[in-house]
């Protein structure tokens, strides 16, 4: 019997670096500072809301665009936290932010279109662009500050460029676009007739004391941008897979038509619980305050042990410069050996890059873990580093 003819795009594709490193952590019993998720449960108030929804609400298909309660809550959340003037008709609920990205790309990108991605980039972007028939074009950002270069972006734009994907705050670096960056990107979108797919899942996980600002809110961008958010990142409930897109009403409707043939809808009890969580500001604020403490614990521990941490003001991640930290190997070797020999899983930054220009000296560590676990992980890495033969 001959083997079935499978799509070579996926047959040749490895599992994501996040799944790979988490599998190694499970197999070896290593501390997992690789894949980004908190080890503890979501806030008790959110669990209570979920239990009540499960007992009292419908378990049948909710509307494709999402429960009206959640769509209203998302619009109100952004009005309160970011000053965005949106209605519930501007919101489409998705099964996680990655599905939202997929729906947005499918709604915007046609075969042959070029899409600008900023490297390092979340590893789903390029495969999704290719699946839509588009061509990903990478604009590299440079460490340690990962700033957006107008000249580099303009050099990458051609007559075929259709869209940009902006991840702000940026995973894996933890950096945040400045007001000047956002204004410049908006100007380029307007000048070259580009659509902006704005992955802003880390908008509420900022530690610089500043209010998040969206590219969607820039002058002229309301009809040419979609904003993507995630309850998993706001509340530390990544397994719930509740995300959303926010856009002008007619844009949201088109993206909703792509969404309806992906997951169609999202479990209603999760949607009701998230709606209640968004309506109670203290829940999200408490999550961010807790992660500020765990972030500080990791940064202070790394500094005490002589690890060089790159600047960053957001996300659940911190990046270390391996040579400056006394680690004599590239990031992929570090990740492969550290999980086996030190008992700590990390993510090599070059795995979130395509092409030959990837920096190979930076590793990403997740801080949204118990402080005792973080201290243990740092000590393990330090002991292992100090024992490496040079």
Domains of the chain: 8-42+283-387 (3.90.1150.10), 58-280 (3.40.640.10)
Position 1 pLDDT exceeds 60: no
Structure tokens at 13: 């594709």
What are 183-226's pLDDT values in tens digits? 999 999 999 999 999 999 999 999 999 999 999 999 999 999 99
Kindly report, residue by residue over 357-390, the tens digit of the pLDDT: 889 999 999 999 999 999 999 999 999 999 986 6
pTM strictly above 0.85:
yes
Q: Which of 47, 45, 46, 25 is nearest to 36 (CA)?
A: 25
Instruction: Quote the CA–CA distance of 200 and 314 in Å, as a whole number.
Output: 11
- In this prediction, residue 3 carries a pLDDT of 59
Instruction: Indicate the burial class of 171 (C-beta count within 10 angstroms; 0-12, 13-18, 19 or more).
Output: buried
296-307: pLDDT as tens digits: 999 999 999 999
- The 10s digit of each residue's pLDDT in 237-289 is 999 999 999 999 999 999 999 999 999 999 999 999 999 999 999 999 999 99
Alpha carbon dihedral 308, 312, 313, 314, in 10-degree steps, equals -110
CA distance 252 to 90: 6
CA dist., res. 145 & res. 312, Å (int): 8
Q: Within 10 A of 63 (CB to CB), how many other CB atoms are there? A: 12
What 3-state DSSP class applies to 162?
strand
Q: Which residues contact 215 (CB under 8 A, 6 or more apart)?
A: 166, 168, 177, 182, 185, 186, 196, 198, 221, 225, 227
How high does pLDDT run on average in the chain? 95
């Amino acid at each position: 019997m001959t083997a079935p003819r499978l799509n070579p795009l996926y047959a040749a594709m490895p599992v994501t670096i996040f799944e790979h490193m988490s599998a190694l952590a499970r197999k070896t019993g290593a501390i997992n500072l690789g894949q980004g998720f908190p080890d503890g449960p979501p806030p008790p108030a959110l669990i209570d809301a979920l239990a009540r929804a499960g007992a009292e609400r419908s378990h049948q298909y909710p509307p494709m665009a999402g429960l009206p309660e959640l769509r209203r809550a998302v619009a109100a959340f952004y009005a309160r936290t970011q000053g965005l003037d949106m209605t519930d008709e501007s919101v489409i609920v998705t099964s996680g932010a990655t599905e939202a990205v997929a729906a947005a790309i499918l709604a915007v990108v046609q075969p042959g279109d070029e899409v600008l991605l900023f490297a390092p980039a979340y590893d789903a972007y390029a495969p999704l662009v290719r699946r839509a028939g588009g061509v990903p074009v990478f604009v590299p950002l440079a460490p340690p500050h990962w700033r957006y270069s107008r000249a580099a972006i303009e050099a990458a734009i051609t007559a075929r460029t259709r869209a940009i994907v902006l991840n702000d705050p940026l995973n894996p670096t933890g950096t945040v676009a400045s007001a000047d960056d956002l204004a410049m990107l908006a100007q380029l979108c307007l000048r070259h007739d580009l659509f902006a797919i704005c992955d802003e899942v880390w908008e509420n996980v900022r530690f610089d004391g500043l209010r998040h600002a969206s590219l969607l809110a820039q002058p002229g961008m309301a009809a040419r941008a979609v904003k993507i958010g995630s309850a998993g990142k706001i509340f530390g409930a990544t397994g719930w897979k509740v995300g959303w897109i926010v856009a002008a009403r007619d844009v949201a409707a088109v993206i909703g038509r792509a969404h309806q043939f992906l997951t169609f809808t999202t479990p209603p009890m999760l949607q009701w619980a998230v709606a209640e969580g968004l309506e109670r500001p203290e829940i999200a604020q408490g999550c961010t305050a807790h992660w500020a403490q765990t972030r500080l614990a990791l940064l202070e521990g790394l500094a005490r042990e002589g690890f060089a941490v790159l600047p960053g003001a957001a996300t659940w991640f911190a990046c270390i410069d391996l040579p400056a930290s006394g680690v004599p190997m590239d990031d992929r070797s570090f990740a492969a050996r550290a999980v086996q020999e030190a008992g700590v899983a990390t993510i090599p930054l070059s795995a979130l890059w395509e092409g030959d220009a990837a920096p190979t000296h930076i590793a990403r560590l997740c801080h949204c873990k118990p402080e005792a676990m973080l201290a243990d992980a740092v000590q393990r890495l330090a002991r292992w580093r100090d024992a490496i033969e040079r």
